[in-house]
Chains A and B, each alone.
Chain A
Amino acid sequence: MLVILSVALLRMRDLFTVAMLTGIYSLVIACFFMLQDAVDVAFTEAAVGAGITTVLFLATLSMVGREEAPASRIHLPALACTLAVGALLVYASQDMPAWGDPNAPVHQHVAPRYIEQSADEVGPPNIVTSVLASYRGYDTMGEVGVVFTAAIGVLLLLGNGTRRRRDSDGDSEDQT
């Protein structure tokens, strides 16, 4: 399913369809996470990947047009690089522990403590929330910082959309 979608994505030239397909791709991945009982991740993927990202793509498309420029010929070094990295990843995946293996290193480090003691130490029945907001509070703070930085970057590059309308001759930014 995902492979079919990826190939379709690569072959499309109409960017509007591509934006829609990316949304569907995210939705399929969300279902996949759901099947693995990772509801929080699935929820985020559905809301962010299938929802907001698609809308932002569409907003961008309405500015740049929906036709992709015709692709140039195949770039050989890039192809070789991609194939090499892909082969490395497949090779590395041989060493990964079996899916759902309880003895995998990732399940042996801090996970047992989270599962056994988060109800006494933190409280909320949803362990994901305890880990995100309490045990891993620093990480989440950094993530919010990343989101914050994204907004600052876009504001610096594009302006906030209103300021320019008020003073019509405006600053030196070009108006499309």
Chain B
Amino acid sequence: MIDKPISMKSNPILRGVTSITLGPILLFAWYVQWHGDYGPGGGFQAGVIFAAAIIAYALIYGLDRAQRFIPPKSAEIGVMAGWLLYIGTGVISMLLGANFLDYDVLASDPLHGQHYGILAVELGVGITVAAVMIVLFYAFAGRRHR
């Protein structure tokens, strides 16, 4: 697939389908990310879906354009930032006097604190997973691309 970027790029059906579905896929990733506490899903799935959209874009429109949208550098930063956000949430709850990763103290009442904590932690998971998948794909595809 990647070894024929020209033919994939010029295929009007692939281009059309990708340009139509890309937006909904990204939106769905966003929905799965923030709606994980009410329905199935969460950071992990959202990150994977987001990365899948970026990879589809890279496959159809070329690696260079995808890397202009998400530069490899920022993907690498995302790998670390997500995990740090996760750990940082734990450290903040520790600084506020509770145990590590005990979110009760993040808001005035425990339930809201738990909610904020879960959202922050899931966002961290989502960022790391999406960034890792994109980094993996860049590493594989970039090697061939050369």
Contact = CB atoms under 8 A, between A and B. Distances in A.
Interface of A: 39-40, 42-44, 47-48, 51-52, 55-56, 58-60, 62-63, 121-126, 128-130, 132-134, 137-138, 140-141, 144-145, 147-148, 150-152, 154-155, 158-162, 164-165, 175-176
Interface in B75-109: 76, 79-80, 82-83, 86-87, 90, 100-101, 103
A43 B111 CA distance: 27
B139 A159 contact: yes
Given A40-B45, A160-B72, 8 more contacts: A40-B41, A47-B52, A55-B52, A58-B2, A59-B137, A124-B118, A161-B143, A162-B72
Interface in B1-35: 1-3
Given A51-B52, A151-B131, A155-B76, A140 B140 contact: no
A150 to B, nearest CB: 6
Interface size class of B (residues with CB under 8 A): 35 or more
Contacts of A165: 142, 145-146
B132 interface: yes
17 contacts: A52-B51, A55-B137, A121-B110, A121-B114, A129-B122, A133-B118, A134-B103, A137-B101, A140-B86, A140-B121, A141-B101, A144-B129, A158-B139, A161-B138, A165-B145, A175-B146, A176-B144
Contacts, number: 168
